[in-house]
Structure 1
């Protein structure tokens, strides 16, 4: 376990007292740019369920006043990140630059891409890599299979951790007390009649994923769609990411996932781990 170090004054090297540390944190907070934080909150509010928004929507989703939300939205329009038709604000392609900054500098996603492509070619299904971010599984790399109808998961997309195979694998990497605290802090809703959306049920699913070495979400997010995920560990043995495949239930059943898909996912995760 990494020891907890006392805070140090970077100028003198002396240990800081609790009072000094609090003062330092307050000073940093005062130096922060409130306007930037508000704009980023609005940007993060866009997603698969929020493809466009009004000023009122932005104020509600980002917890801002209407005037502040309007100023932020209009600034984003001026900068080319949003379009405005007089009522609704919608993202423009320039928004991709924000996510691209992470993807283009992340060694994990770069190393994973050819391995995902190889697994995709073998399984003939889309294969993705995700990390945990504030209760969501966020997809940082993906190899898309060509089908008439896709599974809907996109690069940069987010899925609720509690009811997705990827999320349960990632939550399994946390101490149970931390995972429980997270689950108690998020509203769990049922997307289908198969969604496990209660604390004990989700914790049991996370424990089972940790014991089995994989997780399956069977039509919990959308009827007709299933997913399987396995962990990707770093050199210290900690779960760094989750490797997953999403399929339509009518095309691939659970038995096929376990017997035919799981070995390929585990092999790919192992190759990725050895590259980290």
Structure 2
């Protein structure tokens, strides 16, 4: 998946504070590093569906000129974040350090991990925790069930919020005006013939998730795959994450998700909440 937008590219600059007639400062000095912003835009463009890039790919996905994209890619190669075979650029293990900085300093993944593992052992299915980031559900903790074929996304993976169970739960915690503005700004596409990809339908699904306290995505992202998610709230009652389970729909029915899986997910979410 690719981000809905890249960081704003600005020239390196410093602006002086603006003062009114009384001499009070109204603006702080602002500094920006255009090169850093461009490099991060390219890094964020890598994902499950974009595992390698040419210079043209990077320029298109990060909304950069070809020369700027090439300079950024070669710099990332020099720093050990990317490999280059003469045509394609691919991520190297050092890229994990970037996500690891968040995972190692945020308490949420650390608190949740043993609780996710307990729920996985109970349900014998993979359990994940995701947060909202610019219209995507980003997975920050995961307990993987041992199977020949795994289900769901990997740690650090991103799913579009409008058509994923986790995303709809997370969007359900925002004011409707903000949700509507977001949905109107992102291109919605149908991944399968079951994908809800229109504004009214997605808003209805988000409202239902907020009312029911859970959301289900039934083969909307991939045929044969279903998911259920519940909210995780902080002490103020705000939704800070979504706890989810991914299953093969041929093995686990929607009825089983509701009747047998939902109680465990809610119990686990409650345990995470009490630990925050």
Same fold (TM over 0.5): yes
**Structure 1 residues 123 and 7: CA distance shift in structure 2, 3 A:** closer
Task: Report the Cα offset of residue 16 of structure 1.
Answer: 13
Distance 1:187 1:5 in 2: 11
Deviation of the 1:49 alpha carbon:
1.1
User: Residues 101, 24 of structure 1: CA spacing in aligned structure 2 closer, same or farther, 3 A cutoff?
Assistant: farther
CA separation in 2, counterparts of 1:151 and 1:53? 26
Question: Structure 1 residues 257 and 186 mapped into 2: Cα distance closer, same or farther (>3 Å)?
Answer: same
Map of 1:35 onto structure 2: 35
Indicate if the aligned counterparts of 2:229 and 2:243 stay in contact, CA closer than 8 A. Answer: yes
* Cα deviation 1:128-184 (Å, max 9, x = unaligned): 000000000000000000011111410000000000000000000000010000000
> Who is 1:259 aligned against?
259
Q: Which moved more, 1:185-194 or 1:60-69?
A: 60-69
Counterpart secondary structure, 1:193: coil
Residue 231 of structure 1, CA deviation: 0.2
Greater fraction helix:
1
Secondary structure at the residue paired with 2:30?
Answer: helix
Change (3 A) 1:26 1:80: farther
Kindly report which structure 2 residues correspond to 1:12-161, keeping only aligned pairs within 5 A, or say none. 31-161=31-161
Q: 1:231 to 1:24 in 2, by over 3 A?
A: farther
Q: Residue 200 and residue 37 in structure 1: after superposition, are their counterparts in 2 closer, same or farther (change >3 A)?
A: same
- Distance in structure 2 (CA, Å) of the matches to 1:5 and 1:74: 22
TM-score by length of 2: 0.90
Cα 1:152/1:14, change in 2 over 3 Å: closer
Cα separation, partners in 2 of 1:244 and 1:33, compared to 1, 3 Å: same
Q: Cα gap change, 1:24/1:35 in structure 2, threshold over 3 Å: closer, same or farther?
A: farther
Structure 1 spans left out of the alignment, 5+ residues: none
1:8–1:15 Cα contact (<8 Å) kept: no
Deviation at residue 12 of structure 1 after TM alignment: 26
1:5 is displaced (CA, Å) by 29
Mapped to 2, the partners of 1:9 and 1:58 lie a distance apart of: 15
**Aligned partners of 2:81 and 2:95 also within 8 Å:** yes
Cα distance change of structure 1 residues 129 and 86 upon mapping to structure 2, 3 Å threshold: same
Question: With structure 1 as the length reference, what TM-score do the two structures score?
Answer: 0.90
The equivalent residue for 1:238 is 238
8 A contact 2:166–2:229 mirrored in 1: yes
1:273 to 1:13, Cα distance in 2 relative to 1, 3 A: farther
2:17–2:28 CA contact under 8 A, matched in 1: no
Deviation by residue 1:63-101 (Cα, 9 ceiling, x = unmatched): 111111100000000000000000000000100000000
CA distance 1:54–1:271, shift in 2 (3 Å): same
Q: Is the 8 A contact 1:7 1:16 kept in 2?
A: no
User: 3-state DSSP class of the match of 1:217?
Assistant: strand
CA RMSD in angstroms comes to 6.7
Query: How far off its partner does 1:31 sit?
Result: 1.8
What is the CA-CA distance between 1:32 and the residue it aligns to?
A: 1.3
CA contact (8 A) 1:6 1:16 kept: no
Aligned residue for 2:13, secondary structure, equals coil
Distance 1:180 1:55, change over 3 A: same
